[in-house]
Amino acid sequence: MAIKWINYDQLDASSKLASDAKVDLTKVMTGASGEERVKKYSAKMAADLTFNYAAKNVDDTILADLQKLADEAGLVDKFEVLYNGEFVNVGENRMVLHHLTRGQLGNDVVFNGVNEREFYTGVQKRVAEFAGKVHSGEIANEKGEKFTTVVQIGIGGSDLGPRAMYLALENWARVNGFLKMNAQFISNVDPDDAAAVLANVDVSRSLFILVSKSGTTLETLTNESFVKDALKKAGLDPSKHMIAVTSQTSPLAGSSDYLDSFFMDDFVGGRYSSCSAVGGAVLSLAFGPEIFDRFLEGAAAEDKLSKSRNVLDNPALLDALIGVYERNVLGYGSTAVLPYSQALSRFPAHLQQMDMESNGKSVNRFGEEVSYPTGPVIFGEPGTNGQHSFYQLLHQGTDIIPLQFIGFKESQQGVDVEIQGSTSQHKLSANVAAQIMAFACGKDDENKNKKFAGNRPSSIIIGEKLTPEALGALLAHFENKVMFQGFVWNLNSFDQEGVQLGKVLAKKVLAHETDGALKAYADIFGI
């Protein structure tokens, strides 16, 4: 398939979008027209989720031009060559195969004689077998006691995604009888992080997962040494308490320092690795392999929707295109992710890395500077907490910041109380509904301090309940949204050179190979 990689500003549809009449939400979201928009501007997702974009600055004309943009840029074609194994990651000359960790979308992808899908499913099978042995007590500590806690040691994509996924399902698993092991996470090289986790677990009954693709990540190996020291001080053999998730070429692979090693490869980037062994090991140990499988099923089902060429039937593509319109036509530089679900407390942090590490680029796929804005700043916090924190700026600040709400009709745990005529869950849902309308329509007032200009756009993903399938679908939706936006902007969304410079300089500081201002800063810290 012949694919053309073209800069956004060279696409005819980009000029058409810029000339389209702007939509004023304060006018279209009121009265009967607003009610009709909420019903009309909605797209079905997998796992009983719905993407509603009625409160976005779009109309039928703009949506038609977004379709033209998708077609002209060949966005679905680019997705197709990606999952069929083209070397889309041009910065590192690699394939991009995280979709294959949860389902085969197209042809078999074979590299150096290895069927990649079979490789990933084989690793998942080995993880499931290992988790089963831990849960049964066949793999136990030196005293024959079952492990009760699993601790993941990793940073970046080896921490943010798996941690967010675990926290999202922890309470659901507990009330439904699926919580088999508690999970903790160590990421920061700050010794206080590891010390705090170790102080709150029984190390003798803890199983540690070291996650590093290269086997050389400074922070992760430092924390591994921290943990090994604690195990030795407790009179324990670290090799009986640790497993590794790494690449087959890593120095960690097959080492006698670990009970077992589970593999990933270079074709799955860290921030896209929650569906691989990076997330699979900790989630399978915590909840059981069958729950991890359900999570993968939700993600795979959402991936299939991303193959649709009709943007109105492709929620991730539609979300991506609206985001491009907001960034490049309306000039909005940030996006707030606001889950009205405490279980998704770390989901915005995961999306922050996924989006900003992927599309935080100022050069295109060919190393040429682009002349248009690319990835937005991503931040967020669960509602209703955020309402009492930064919503003031969102409502009345000088910058308009698009919002992405996430909400569910039912709580995960089914425990609630009725106060003043409504339940806690109803109060939560009432708040998100009210916020959407407050941002869209605003409020006039002679007192300028109490005036809300409105016309502040938002979308919402609504589900029945946050289940493993719904979580998988949510994850895939945002992964594919970021991918499609990178395609529109003609970026390589799958390398992260911006992460590397700081690592290089830190090594120089530790090796005392510094001069000038860098030496002065090192001296301040007594290094």
Of the candidates 219, 267, 223, 260, which has an alpha carbon nearest to the alpha carbon of residue 239? 260
Question: What's the token pair of residue 56?
Answer: 């976005």
| Dihedral angle over CA of 279, 284, 289, 291, nearest 10 | -80
CA distance 401 to 47: 28
Number of H helices, E strands in the chain: 18, 15
**Structure tokens belonging to residue 359:** 């599309």
Residues 6 or more apart in contact with residue 142 via CB below 8 angstroms: 236, 237, 240
Q: How far apart are CA 179 and CA 148, in angstroms?
A: 10
Q: What is the largest CA-CA distance in the chain?
A: 74
Using CA atoms, how far apart are residues 375 and 482, in angstroms rounded to an integer?
A: 9
| 467 prior amide bond cis, ω within 30 | no
Rounded Cα gap, residues 196 and 265, in angstroms: 31
Tally of CA atoms within 13 A in the half-sphere of 160 that contains its CB: 17
Residue 225 in contact with residue 95, Cβ under 8 Å?
Answer: no
**Active-site option among 232, 388, 450, 507:** 388
154 burial via Cβ count (<10 Å: 0-12, 13-18, 19+): buried
Residue 4 annotated to the active site? no
Is residue 224 a contact partner of residue 191, using CB atoms and an 8 Å limit?
no
Cβ atoms of residues 289 and 298 within 8 Å: no
Q: Is residue 388 annotated as a catalytic residue, yes or no?
A: yes
Catalytic residue among 125, 426, 503, 507: 503
Contact by Cβ (8 Å): 262, 123? yes
Packing angle of the helix pair 516-524, 500-510 (nearest 10 deg): 70
To the query of whether residue 450 is one of the catalytic residues in this protein, the response is no
Question: Radius of gyration (Cα) for the chain, nearest Å?
Answer: 24
Query: How far is the C-alpha of 473 from the C-alpha of 478, rounded, in Å?
Result: 9
Per the residue annotation, which of 219, 326, 357, 479 is the catalytic one?
357
3-state helix, strand, coil split of the chain in percent (to 5) is 50, 15, 35
Asked if residues 440 and 24 have their Cβ atoms less than 8 Å apart, the reply is no
Residues annotated as part of the active site: 357, 388, 503
